[in-house]
Amino acid sequence: MKNIFCFLLLMPVFFTAFTQNKEKRSLRPSDVYLLKNVGGAQVSPDGKWVVYTISTVDTSKDSRNSDIWMVSWDGQQTVQLTNSGEGESTPKWSPDGKYISFITTRNGDKNAQLWLLDTRGGEAKKLTNTKGDIEEYVWSPDAKKIVMSIKDQDFSDTAKTKTRIPFVMDRYRFKQDIDGYVEGRYTHLYLFDISTKKTDTLTKGNYDEASPTFSPDGKQLAFVSNRSNDKDKNENTDIWVMNASTGSVIKQLTTWAGADANPVWSPDGQSIAYTTSSSNLAFTMYGQNNIAIVSAAGGASKTMVASLDRPVSRIHFTKDGQRITMLVADDRKVYIASLNIATNTVDTLAGGQKSYSNIDRCPASDALVAAMSSPQLPTELYTIENNAVTRLTHVQDSFVNAINFANVTGFTSISKDGNKTSNILYLPATATPGQKLPLILFIHGGPVGQDDYGFDLSRQVLAAGGFAVAGVNYRGSNGRGTAYTKAIYADWGNKEVQDIIGAANYLVSKGIADEQKMGIGGWSYGGILTNYSIATDNRFKAAASGAGSSLQLSMYGVDQYVTQYETELGAPWKNLKKWIALSYPFFKAYKITTPTLFMASEKDFNVPTVGAEQMYQALKSLNVQTQLVIYPGQFHGVSKPSYQVDRFERYLKWFEKYLK
């Protein structure tokens, strides 16, 4: 394979990079405060401007704050549109180009509201006064109305007393990270009239509606909803259509038992393209999205690009309706592709060892704006026009120009059963040719996800600490096809660990890693695999397991994955041996000798703290060096900047203690 790592060939590259960049400083954990996030890009109707957001850290509030900017299509003019302490998100152009709408919480509002900014000048004006949370919104083609998806109002705090009324659940899935305990609140569609400020209810009932989108003539809406009898026990979302007015009859377009989502109207309004899961299991995680097309009037759907066998996302019709542009995740890369609908063939529009994370089509042409990052460059915006990729923004310049980043390359390892695993290696910028380094295998979560050639702050920070750092796309990862993803179905901690150990063996055999100084870590499923790995291989001298679990039996009813558990493993009382077998890191804790740092987030309902607490208690009882860190008030993803810095510092301190 082209990306197999060859140490001898790359030595001159590493040495040259070191000598050229020695005046730059190394990356450090506190750089979390300096890194900016770029997102939300949308092209104006006339194709002359791109609106987007830049998120920066407000150290006084210890949180991120997002502001709205716009840049001219040629990149020559950049204008900051908002600069408030509350933060703004989801900017969108009105179809006539006169306004930019956005969501923010200002002036003491409890819920975020829609605001409107006149592009001809003046202050932003508040548009809505909803009682629930606005989750999505979309403009009508005539720019006179907006459809919003709004979550039902939370009445828990309406009592006169400050005491929160008891949580009362009667749903099968009653827990969800960030949302917390799931009560009887649903998300519905509402139609807002710009001129009259009147809001009409479009949908009701015990269902959630998402991804609303207007037909080109503005008369109809397509949206996504799970209206199956046991909606909590499956992920059977379908595409539905209705007239864009109150009291309209709702018509079901798709009937696939898996997940149909992300509807997009064709320019002539005759058909709807959407993403459809390759799996029809109640829990569809091990599938991947294809594209399907269905007539807006109803009928059989036609699945496209199934032969591609790669997950697709962010679909857009071209102006003539003959093609669909999309993102494709493929073996450590995420590229932009074009689907020819007539021939069902795919062409690459923009690729390489990069990761594209978003695309939007210019309404005036088939040119695209895209967010993209590469191994040594955080996300920026780019235009793709006439097969040319041109950088549009330079948000990260001051940050990037000061840092001597790790050198990044791909390599392929072979596991003991012969599986070829695609991986990514980070070597410190200060590494010298032939130097054997302490190794950290930093494992991605998911498990369905992949380490790609996008910018990775975590691995860059660890490499800056003087470690060789490897990301391993173990079986269960995407980008390699559905069979590769589903290889770990009901067999956790087996093939993935073989792939992780295979990657470690490869780096040792090439003289890159010091076998006596190997560590492992990760978050979420990366933390789970850390536990599986240290219970399998005693060569690891240090580990950092974040948001992980080992006694899988104890997670039933504690986290948000009951549908997956019962579909994939069976109920514990029906398949106890399977549950115990998959809990081997806990039941074989006496075999673990690796000093391990366990981390968790206090409010995590994805992988609750009990997963880390149990393993910490076990190793403490066994007199193995260990420590437990709980981040207060955090959900599965640690969002508070100071905690992100703290986590990096603890990683480095722990691995330095035991690997150096």
pLDDT one-digit tens code per residue, 412-431: 999 999 999 999 999 999 99
pLDDT tens digits, 250-265: 999 999 999 999 999 9
Nearest in space to 431 (alpha carbons), one of 458, 396, 466, 479: 466
Q: Tokens at residue 201, please?
A: 């209810």
Alpha-carbon gap, residue 475 to 486, rounded angstroms: 8
Alpha-carbon gap, residue 499 to 443, rounded angstroms: 11
Fold exhibited by the domain 7-27+403-549+596-659: Rossmann fold (3.40.50)
* Beta-bridge partner residues of 627: 597
Mean pLDDT value across residues 172-197: 93
pLDDT band (50, 70, 90) for residue 158: low
Mean pLDDT value across residues 587-613: 97
Alpha-carbon gap, residue 502 to 416, rounded angstroms: 7
Mean pLDDT value across residues 13-27: 58
pLDDT band (50, 70, 90) for residue 159: low
Spell out the domain ranges in the chain.
7-27+403-549+596-659, 36-106
Per-position DSSP letters for 299-354, written without gaps between them: ---EEE-GGG-S-EEEEEE-TTSSEEEEEEEETTEEEEEEEETTTTEEEEEE-SS-
Q: Can you give the pLDDT at residue 281?
A: 83
pLDDT band (50, 70, 90) for residue 205: very high
pLDDT tens digits, 434-490: 899 999 999 999 999 999 999 999 999 999 999 999 999 999 999 999 999 999 999
| DSSP structure class, residue 246 | T
Q: Can you give the pLDDT at residue 2?
A: 34
Q: Can you give the pLDDT at residue 133?
A: 87
Assign residue 170 a region: left if phi > 0, alpha if psi is -120 to 50, beta otherwise? alpha
Is residue 5 scored above 80 in pLDDT?
no
Residues 6+ apart with CB under 8 A from 457: 31, 32, 35, 378
Alpha-carbon gap, residue 645 to 642, rounded angstroms: 5
Nearest in space to 385 (alpha carbons), one of 73, 49, 95, 76: 73
Mean pLDDT value across residues 609-625: 98
Helices (H) and strands (E) in the chain, counts: 11, 38
Q: Can you give the pLDDT at residue 8?
A: 30
Alpha-carbon gap, residue 459 to 465, rounded angstroms: 10
pLDDT tens digits, 550-579: 999 999 999 999 999 999 999 999 999 999
Average predicted confidence (pLDDT) for the chain:
93
Give Dmax (Cα) for the chain. Answer: 72
Q: Can you give the pLDDT at residue 153?
A: 85
Is residue 110 scored above 90 in pLDDT?
no
Is residue 382 scored above 60 in pLDDT?
yes
pLDDT band (50, 70, 90) for residue 156: confident
Q: Can you give the pLDDT at residue 13?
A: 37
Residue type for 488, please? I
Task: Say which range, 13-27, 42-56, 148-162, 528-542, has the weakest mean pLDDT.
Answer: 13-27
Is residue 4 scored above 90 in pLDDT?
no
pLDDT band (50, 70, 90) for residue 7: very low
CA of residue 64 relative to chain centroid, distance = 18
Q: Can you give the pLDDT at residue 157?
A: 63
Higher-confidence residue of 27 and 16: namely: 27
Q: Are 97 and 45 in contact, with CB atoms under 8 Å apart?
A: yes
Highest mean pLDDT among 159-163, 281-285, 613-617: 613-617
The values of phi and psi at residue 15, to 5°, are -65, -40
Is residue 107 scored above 90 in pLDDT?
no
| DSSP structure class, residue 563 | H
Q: Can you give the pLDDT at residue 22?
A: 52
Q: Can you give the pLDDT at residue 154?
A: 79
Is residue 17 scored above 50 in pLDDT?
no
Q: Tokens at residue 573, please?
A: 């009382």
Is residue 20 scored above 70 in pLDDT?
no
Is residue 622 scored above 60 in pLDDT?
yes
Residues 6+ apart with CB under 8 A from 7: 510, 511, 512
Q: Can you give the pLDDT at residue 12?
A: 36
User: pTM to 2 decimals?
Assistant: 0.92
Mean pLDDT value across residues 291-295: 97
Q: Can you give the pLDDT at residue 14?
A: 37
% of the chain at pLDDT higher than 70: 96
Alpha-carbon gap, residue 498 to 495, rounded angstroms: 5
